[in-house]
C-alpha cells in the first residue's frame, strides 16, 4: 500500500475549505445534519441487544502500541488518503458495537511492555514485564524460578477443546506478543537456543521457536504466519533472501522442516508466491516465515525482494484454513510494526500499519458469521505519541499545523511556536527526535539524537515516509506510554466489554463467550481444565 504524499500536501492548500459533507455520503454539514446524525446514533445504540449465544470462533486483533492517539491519527490519515478531510472517517474496527478501556500496567511496572500485557490478555493473569506465559512470582531471566509457574493460555485451551488455532503477525513469530499465545518463558528475549543462558540450559528451559514447533496440545497450532526465519534455521543454512546471512540456531535443527514432518497436510512457505499457492482446503498446518527478522512495514512491503503477503492477506488465508474445523477456531492477529514505527519516532509507518490492521479487520468481518464469531480489537499498550496544536479542519495530519484566523477561517499559513518556528501536529514526548531519512536508512533508530527545537521545518516534507517527528526528551528510542487503551468488540459475548477494565479481563470475556471453562486450582496456583 504505497500512499501519495502529493495528495496529502495538496490538502494543506485547501485547509478546511471544501468539506461539504466529505465522508457523509454527500450530505452538507449543516446544524440540522449534526442534530439528526446524533439522533440516529442514539437510536442505533438503543437498538442493540446483547448477544447471549456462544462464540464458536474468537478472533483477537492486537495493534502493538496502538494507543488512542494512534487510532485517531490513523483514522484521519485514512480519510485524507481518500481525498476527505479525515476527521469524520471511521476505521473498520470502530464500527464494532461495544467498547471499553483496558488498564495496561504490569505487576511490576507502571508503563508496561508487550510480554506482560499480552500474557494478561491470553491467560487472565497479570504478570511482570519481560516474562511470557508465567506468573508474577518468577524472577525475570531465571529459568529455575519459572518451573511450575507456567500459565495456560487461551490458545492452548482452545486446542484442548478441539478448536483450530492460528497466530498471525508482522513481527517475528517469536516476538513477545505472538509468543504469549503459545510459549512459557521467564525471558522474552530467548527467541532461539543461541539466546539461552547457561542457567536456562541447565534447568531445561526451551527457546520460544522450539516451543512453537513442539507445541504439545490438541493436534497442534494450525496456522503460524509472520517473520523470524533466523530463529528456526540452523547456522549452516543460508537465508534465501540474503544468502550472506544464515539461521541462528546452535543446535543444528531446521524447525521449519520439522513442522512439515510433524503434521499431515502441512506446508512451509517463505515468500508471497508460495503463500498465494497454498490451497486452504488441502493444507491444514501452515507455517509462513516471510523475513529473517520482522516483516516489512506495510509502506515498504513492495520493496521486499522475496515478496511478502499483507496483514489482511495473511488474515484471510488463516481464516480460510481454520474454518475447516467444525468445532471452530481461535485466531490472534498482531499488527506488530505499529510499535516499531513509534519507537523510531516515525509516525508515517506507524499509522500506515494501523490502517493495514483496519484492512485486516475488514477482511475478517467479510469472511465470518458475526452471529457465531467474537471479534476483539485492542492494543497491548500505547506510546508517547501526541496530536497537538490547533490545526484547522482537514489540515494534513502528517503536516505542519495551520490554524484558523479570528473569524474561524483557515489561515493557509503554518502556525508559529513561541520560538518563531513552525511545528507539526504529530509529535513524541521522547525519542530520537527530528530526522529525514532516505529509503534504506535505519528506520528504527534514525540519525543522531536531535531533540528539542533545533530545526526550521518550513522546507521539509513532513508527510514523507522518511520524516521522523520531533521529540522533547532525548532517548535512544521512543518509549511506551502508560495510559489505558481502547477495546472494540462485536459478536457473542462482546457486550461484556464495557467500562474501564483490567487488561486480563479480556481473556475472561473470550473464555466465557467461547464456553472454554476451566477452574483455578488454589492449591497448585494454576488453571486446570475441568475434569
Query: CA-to-CA distance for 27 and 12, rounded, in angstroms?
Result: 23
| pLDDT number for residue 523 | 62
**CATH code of domain 57-384+480-529:** 3.40.720.10
Query: CA-to-CA distance for 460 and 446, rounded, in angstroms?
Result: 16
Query: CA-to-CA distance for 504 and 289, rounded, in angstroms?
Result: 29
Query: CA-to-CA distance for 102 and 507, rounded, in angstroms?
Result: 12
Q: How far is CA 16 from CA 420, 463, 521, in A?
A: 24, 18, 60
Q: How far is CA 416 from CA 139, 293, 403, 424, in A?
A: 50, 42, 10, 10
Q: Which residues contact 464 (CB under 8 A, 6 or more apart)?
A: 5, 348, 436
Active site residue ranges: 114
| pLDDT number for residue 41 | 80
Phi, psi of 10, deg, nearest 5: -60, -30
Residue/partner pairs of 41-48 with CB below 8 Å, 24 or more apart:
48/97, 48/495
Cβ(451)–Cβ(470) below 8 Å: yes
Extents of the domains making up the chain: 57-384+480-529, 386-478
**For the chain, how are helix, strand and coil distributed in percent, rounded to 5?**
30, 20, 50
Query: CA-to-CA distance for 477 and 482, rounded, in angstroms?
Result: 16
Over its length of 531 residues, how does the chain's per-residue pLDDT go in tens digits?
444 443 333 333 333 333 333 345 567 888 788 778 888 888 887 887 776 789 999 999 999 999 999 999 999 999 999 999 999 999 999 999 999 999 999 999 999 999 999 999 999 999 999 999 999 999 999 999 999 999 999 999 999 999 999 999 999 999 999 999 999 999 999 999 999 999 999 999 999 999 999 999 999 999 999 999 999 999 999 999 999 999 999 999 999 999 999 999 999 999 999 999 999 999 999 999 999 999 999 999 999 988 999 999 999 999 999 999 999 999 999 999 999 999 999 999 999 999 999 999 999 999 999 999 999 999 999 999 999 999 999 999 999 999 999 999 999 999 999 999 999 999 999 998 888 876 655 555 555 566 777 789 998 999 999 899 999 999 989 999 999 999 999 999 999 999 999 999 999 999 999 998 665 565 666 656 654
Amino acid at each position: 500500500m504505497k500512499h501519495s504524499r502529493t495528495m496529502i500536501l495538496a490538502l494543506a492548500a485547501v485547509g478546511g475549505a471544501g468539506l461539504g459533507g466529505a465522508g457523509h455520503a454527500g450530505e452538507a454539514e449543516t446544524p440540522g445534519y449534526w442534530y439528526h446524525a446524533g439522533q440516529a446514533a442514539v437510536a442505533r445504540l438503543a437498538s442493540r441487544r446483547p448477544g447471549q449465544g456462544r462464540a464458536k470462533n474468537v478472533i483477537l486483533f492486537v495493534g502493538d502500541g496502538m494507543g488512542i492517539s494512534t487510532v485517531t491519527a490513523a483514522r484521519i490519515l485514512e480519510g485524507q488518503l481518500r481525498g476527505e478531510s479525515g476527521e469524520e472517517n471511521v476505521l473498520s474496527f470502530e464500527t464494532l458495537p461495544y467498547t471499553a478501556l483496558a488498564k495496561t500496567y504490569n505487576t511490576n511496572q507502571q508503563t508496561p511492555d508487550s510480554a506482560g500485557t499480552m500474557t494478561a490478555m491470553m491467560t487472565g493473569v497479570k504478570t511482570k514485564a519481560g516474562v511470557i506465559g508465567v506468573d508474577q512470582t518468577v524472577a525475570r531471566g531465571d529459568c529455575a524460578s519459572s518451573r511450575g509457574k507456567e500459565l495456560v493460555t487461551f490458545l492452548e485451551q482452545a486446542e484442548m477443546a478441539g478448536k483450530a488455532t492460528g497466530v498471525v503477525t508482522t513481527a517475528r513469530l517469536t516476538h513477545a506478543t505472538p509468543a504469549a499465545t503459545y510459549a512459557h518463558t521467564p525471558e522474552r528475549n530467548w527467541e532461539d537456543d543461541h539466546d539461552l543462558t547457561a542457567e536456562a540450559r541447565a534447568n531445561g528451559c526451551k527457546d520460544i521457536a522450539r516451543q512453537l514447533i513442539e507445541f504439545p496440545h490438541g493436534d497442534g497450532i494450525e496456522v503460524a504466519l509472520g517473520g523470524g526465519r533466523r530463529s528456526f534455521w540452523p547456522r549452516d543454512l543460508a537465508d534465501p533472501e540474503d544468502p550472506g546471512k544464515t539461521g541462528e540456531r546452535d543446535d543444528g535443527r531446521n524447525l521449519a522442516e520439522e513442522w512439515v514432518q510433524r503434521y499431515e497436510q502441512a506446508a512451509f512457505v517463505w515468500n508471497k508466491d508460495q503463500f498465494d499457492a497454498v490451497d486452504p482446503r488441502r493444507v491444514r498446518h501452515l507455517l509462513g516465515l516471510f523475513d529473517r527478522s520482522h516483516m516489512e512495514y506495510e509502506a515498504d512491503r513492495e520493496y521486499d525482494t522475496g515478496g511478502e503477503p499483507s496483514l489482511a492477506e495473511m488474515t484471510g488465508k488463516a481464516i480460510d484454513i481454520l474454518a475447516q474445523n467444525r468445532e471452530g477456531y481461535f485466531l490472534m492477529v498482531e499488527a506488530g510494526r505499529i510499535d516499531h514505527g513509534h519507537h523510531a519516532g516515525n509516525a508515517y509507518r506507524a499509522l500506515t500499519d494501523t490502517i493495514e490492521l483496519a484492512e485486516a479487520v475488514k477482511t475478517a468481518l467479510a469472511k465470518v458469521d458475526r452471529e457465531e464469531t467474537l471479534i476483539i480489537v485492542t492494543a497491548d499498550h500505547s506510546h508517547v505519541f501526541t496530536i497537538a496544536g490547533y490545526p484547522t479542519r482537514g489540515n494534513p495530519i502528517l503536516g505542519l499545523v495551520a490554524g484558523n484566523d479570528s473569524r474561524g477561517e483557515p489561515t493557509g499559513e503554518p502556525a508559529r511556536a513561541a520560538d518563531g518556528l513552525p511545528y507539526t501536529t504529530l509529535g513524541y514526548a521522547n525519542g530520537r527526535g527530528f530526522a529525514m531519512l532516505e529509503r534504506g536508512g535505519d528506520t528504527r533508530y534514525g540519525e543522531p539524537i536531535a531533540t528539542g527545537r533545533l530545526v526550521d521545518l518550513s522546507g521539509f516534507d513532513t508527510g514523507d515516509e522518511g520524516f521522523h517527528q520531533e521529540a522533547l526528551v532525548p532517548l535512544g528510542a521512543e518509549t511506551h506510554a502508560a495510559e489505558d487503551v481502547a477495546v472494540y468488540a462485536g459478536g457473542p459475548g462482546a457486550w461484556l466489554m464495557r467500562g474501564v477494565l483490567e487488561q486480563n479481563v479480556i481473556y475472561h470475556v473470550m473464555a466465557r463467550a467461547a464456553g472454554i471453562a476451566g477452574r483455578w486450582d488454589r492449591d497448585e496456583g494454576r488453571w486446570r481444565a475441568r475434569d
